[in-house]
Amino acid sequence: MQTFMTDKDVVARVLGHIADGTTDRGDDVWQEPVENYRSEARFKQELALIRSVPMPFCPSTALPKAGDYIARNAAHTPLIVVRGKDGTVRAFKNACRHRGTQLVEGKGCAGAFVCPYHGWSYGLDGALLGIPHEDGFPDFDKLANGLSKVTAIETNGIIFIVQQDPNETQSEAQAMLSGLPEILKDDQIIFSESEMIVEANWKLHLESFLEGYHIKPAHKKTFYPFGYDNLNIIEFCGPHARVTFPFRRIETLKGTADKDLEVSDKLTYVTHMFPNVILAELTYHYTLGILEPLNVSKTKITTYNLTKSTDAAGKDKALADAKRDIAFVNETGQTEDIAMVTGIQRSLHSKANETFTFGHFEPAIVHFHKEMAKRLRRS
Ligand code: FES
Ligand SMILES: [Fe+2]
C-alpha cells in the first residue's frame, strides 16, 4: 500500500507550491447527498462500518501497566480495553455474562473485574473466575462464559479495536493498517485527556480537519497569519489520508541540508485514520481525536493530548512546550471550526442544499466519501 512521503519530500513540494502559487489538487469534484448527514438508516450503516474496521481506541501509553483499563463505547458498543498480566492488550464487551451489567466505567487499574450487581468476577484475560453462591447455577459452564471478546491490535503506538468476527475481518484489518507510518512512540507523555460533545453529525466535524481551503476566511486572525491561503499537501494511504498545513516559516528551510531538516515547527500534519479518527501532529504536541457518533446530529470527541518525543528535549521541557502549544490551538482555531460545523448542522434540514459540493481543493474529503460509499455498497 502507498505510504506517506518523507519530511524532505513534503518540504520540497511545499516550497514548489509557494514558488508557483499552487497547491495540491484532486482530480474529482464530488457531490455528497445532504441526506447522508440526516438519514437514520445511513447512520446505522455507518456505525456498522466503523465496527467492521480497525478503529483506533487509545494510545498504547494510555495503558502502561498490567491491569490498566479503559471502558468506553466504540460505535455504540460498550467495551473494556485492558492490558493483561502478560503485557498483551485485550478487549471485551463491557457486559456481565450473568445479566449484562457493565462491569466498570471510565479508567483505572484492576486485578480483576467484579460485577457490581451480584459479584461475578472475571480475570484480566476475560475468564469467568467466580460466581457467588454458585450452587444456584447448576451445570453452568464457566469456561464457556468468559467476557465476550473483541479483537484488539496494538501497533504503531496505538491500540486498535476490530469489533466484527476476527476470522472474517483480520486480514482486511491488517491490510488497512499496513503502510501506516509510525504513529506514536512510547516516550510521548499523555498530558491531558478530555471529552467534548459537538452538536453536529460526525462527518461534518471530521471534514473540518481535512482541507486548508478554509484557513484564510475561517481562521483569519488565528491560523492564517502563520500559514497560507489554500496551500496543502494531500496524500493517501489506503482509505487513510494525510493533509499537511505548512507555516510561513517553512520558507526558512530553503537550501537547508537534508541532515539539518527539522520540520516540527514548520508544518502541521493531520492524519485521518479512516473512518473516524484524527491525529494532528503540531509544533510541540500531538492530538489524537476519536469521533464517537452519538446520533445522527451529535458526536462525542475523546481527545488524548501527547507531548512530542521526550528523549531529545527532556521531559520537563517537552511538557511545558506542549501545554503552551495546546492553549493556542484550543482557544483559537478549534472554537472557530466548531462554530462552522454546528452552523452547517443547523441548516441540514432547511432543504437549502440537496448535495454538498467538494471541489479540487478538498480531495481528502472526496477520498473519504468515496471510501465510505464503496464500503457501504459492499456491505
Ligand atoms: S449481572 Fe453481573 S453478577 Fe449479576
Ligand atoms: Fe479549521
DSSP-derived secondary structure letter, 357: E
What pLDDT score was predicted for residue 257?
A: 85
Around ligand 1, the residues with Cβ closer than 6 Å are: 96, 98-99, 101, 115, 117-120
Q: Whose CA is nearest to atom 3 of ligand 1?
A: 118
Q: What torsion do the CA atoms of 52, 44, 75, 48 make, to the nearest 10 degrees?
A: -10
Closest CA to 156 of 289, 5, 273: 273
The grid coordinates of residue 108 equal 483505572
- Is 61 a residue whose pLDDT tops 60? yes
What pLDDT score was predicted for residue 181?
A: 78
What pLDDT score was predicted for residue 17?
A: 98
Region of residue 12 (phi > 0: left; psi between -120 and 50: alpha; otherwise: beta): alpha
- Is 168 a residue whose pLDDT tops 90? no
Q: How far is the CA of 287 from the centre of ligand 2 (A)?
A: 14
CATH class of segment(s) 7-52+184-378: alpha beta
**Rounded to two decimals, what is the model's pTM?**
0.95
pLDDT confidence of 351, banded at 50, 70, 90? very high
The grid coordinates of residue 209 equal 480537519
The grid coordinates of residue 250 equal 517553512
Indicate the length of the chain as a whole number. 379
What pLDDT score was predicted for residue 178?
A: 82
Q: How far is the CA of 341 from the centre of ligand 2 (A)?
A: 10
What pLDDT score was predicted for residue 177?
A: 86
List the domain boundaries for the chain. 7-52+184-378, 55-177
Q: Are 79 and 71 in contact (CB under 8 A)?
A: yes
- Is 183 a residue whose pLDDT tops 90? no
Q: Which fold has domain 55-177?
A: Rieske Iron-sulfur Protein (2.102.10)
Q: Are 87 and 111 in contact (CB under 8 A)?
A: no
- Is 167 a residue whose pLDDT tops 60? no
- Is 379 a residue whose pLDDT tops 90? no
pLDDT in tens, 210-269: 999 999 999 999 889 999 999 999 999 999 999 999 999 999 999 888 888 899 899 999
Q: Whose CA is nearest to atom 1 of ligand 1?
A: 99
Give me the chain's average pLDDT, please.
94
**Cell 520537563 found at:** 316
Evaluate whether 7-52+184-378 and 55-177 have a shared fold. Answer: no
Q: Whose CA is nearest to atom 4 of ligand 1?
A: 118
